[in-house]
Amino acid sequence: MTVAIDLPVGFGVIGVGLIGAHHASNLARRVAGAKLVALADPLATVAERAAAALGCPAWSHDYQQLLADPEVEAVVVASPAAYHADAIVAAAQAGKAIFCEKPLAHNLAAADRAIQAVRHAGVPFQIGFQRRFDPAFARARKLVDTRELGTIQLLRSLTRDPSIDNPESIAVGSIFLETLIHDFDVLRFLAGGAEPVEVYSNADALILPDWRPRGLLDTAVVMLRYDNGAMATADASFRAVYGYDVRAEVFGSAGMASVGDDPGLAIVHHTASGSNRPRPHWFIDVFGEAYAAELAHFAAHVRGKAAADASLDDARAALVLALAALRSTQEHRPISINEIRV
Ligand SMILES: NC(=O)c1ccc[n+]([C@@H]2O[C@H](COP(=O)([O-])OP(=O)(O)OC[C@H]3O[C@@H](n4cnc5c(N)ncnc54)[C@H](O)[C@@H]3O)[C@@H](O)[C@H]2O)c1
């Protein structure tokens, strides 16, 4: 849904890599109620080139300059996750509204430092859980909210990336903290208000077993139990030879909704050379609309015309689930959420 905004929100983008450049382009060309006014990246040439391509009036290698710019009313934080908390604290202290890419952080100490700064400054915040803004996921949520699926009993969410390009660049726990964090959010988004209380996970290096001694986890399955007894599974793989594969299912006493699958085929067969239902190879092709919609929603929220969504609490809750799944894999036992909260 597009909300009319008289005065566009001026955005600065911090970190102009893969997703930062995509958000910058959306802000410059596509997002209703927003305009791109500044870019910052420690690689100055990256910021300069993107600014020239997008007609952005200001760029810098230092995001403090972007934060000092009065034209910047809101920021998109799209640096690597290890730097999110510092950027959020600095932006909050500068009084900017903050859209931050997932994950909020890689540990709870950094996450809570960021949360405290945002709450103290009282600035609007949104986390980059774009699946919430995808039309199919949003429809599934509506079916849950209107109770058309009855009592939710089972949920499922999966993410399969097309390829591992640089295994050396994948930090231990990435499959939970960077990838499955989206699925953990979906499994809260579609649960009708129930909250996960226990997590059990298995993960291994099945794609690149030679990397197992170095701690690579490239394949994972996670089981969750909710406070009302409902159950869920999530799984992820870093190499699906047939493309980018995201699906979800929510099953209740009155029906089932499934996202990412079409009806009408007896069997779906994917191989590296072809498929009877081909999937895109690039996540931006799958979530193009959602990436623009989440920023349009945030701009409307900054102007007080839309309620907060993908909140600080949502960001923290998904991080807690990712940390629980990582610990469950390391300790080979179910982990109660209370063990992570403390
Ligand atoms: N929501 C999604 O679907 C989605 C998709 C991709 C990435 N992401 C998230 O976005 C973030 C960035 O991922 P990416 O794939 O674009 O990474 P990337 O490596 O392609 O880009 C990161 C950019 O940040 C810059 N940078 C490095 N340190 C910085 C700092 N301290 N301050 C500011 N900029 C800094 C780098 O120079 C680089 O240009 C990650 O948190 C990632 O999980 C989300």
Per-residue model confidence as pLDDT tens digits over 22-80: 999 999 999 999 999 999 999 999 999 999 999 999 999 999 999 999 999 999 999 99
Q: Ligand 1: does its nearest atom lie under 6 Å from the Cβ of 106?
A: no
Do 216 and 208 contact (CB within 8 A), yes or no?
A: yes
Structure-model confidence comparison of residues 6 and 1, the more confident one = 6
Does residue 102 sit in helix, strand or coil? coil
Q: Is 159 in the pocket of ligand 1 (CB under 6 A)?
A: no
Model pLDDT, residue 300: 97
Q: 200 is written with which tokens? A: 């059990």
Q: Is the CB of 101 under 6 A from ligand 1?
A: yes
* 269 pLDDT more than 70: no
Residue 299 to residue 292: CA distance in whole angstroms: 11
- Rounded to 5°, angle at Cα 132 from 128 and 135: 130
Q: For residue 21, give the ligand 1 atom closest to its CA.
A: 16
Structure tokens at 286: 């799958």
Distance, in Å, from the CA atom of 99 to the CA atom of 38, rounded to the nearest integer, reads 15
Is residue 15 lining ligand 1, measured as CB closer than 6 Å? Answer: yes
Separation CA 256–CA 148 (nearest Å): 9
Alpha carbon 233 to its chain centroid, in Å, reads 18
pLDDT-derived band at 224, boundaries 50, 70, 90: very high
> Using 50, 70 and 90 to split pLDDT, how confident is the model at 248?
very high
Q: Which of 13, 18, 48, 98 to mutate to test the pocket of ligand 1 (most atoms within 8 A of CB)?
A: 18
Within 147-217, where are the H helices?
174, 180-189
Report which protein residue has its CA nearest ligand 1's atom 5. Answer: 19
Question: What integer is the mean pLDDT of 223-235?
Answer: 98
Q: 265 pLDDT exceeds 60?
A: no
For the Cβ of 185 lying below 6 angstroms from any atom of ligand 1, the answer is no
Instruction: Assess whether pLDDT exceeds 70 at residue 170.
Output: yes
Q: What is the pLDDT at residue 266? A: 60
Confidence of residue 187 (pLDDT cuts 50, 70, 90): very high
Cβ(124) – ligand 1 distance below 6 Å: no
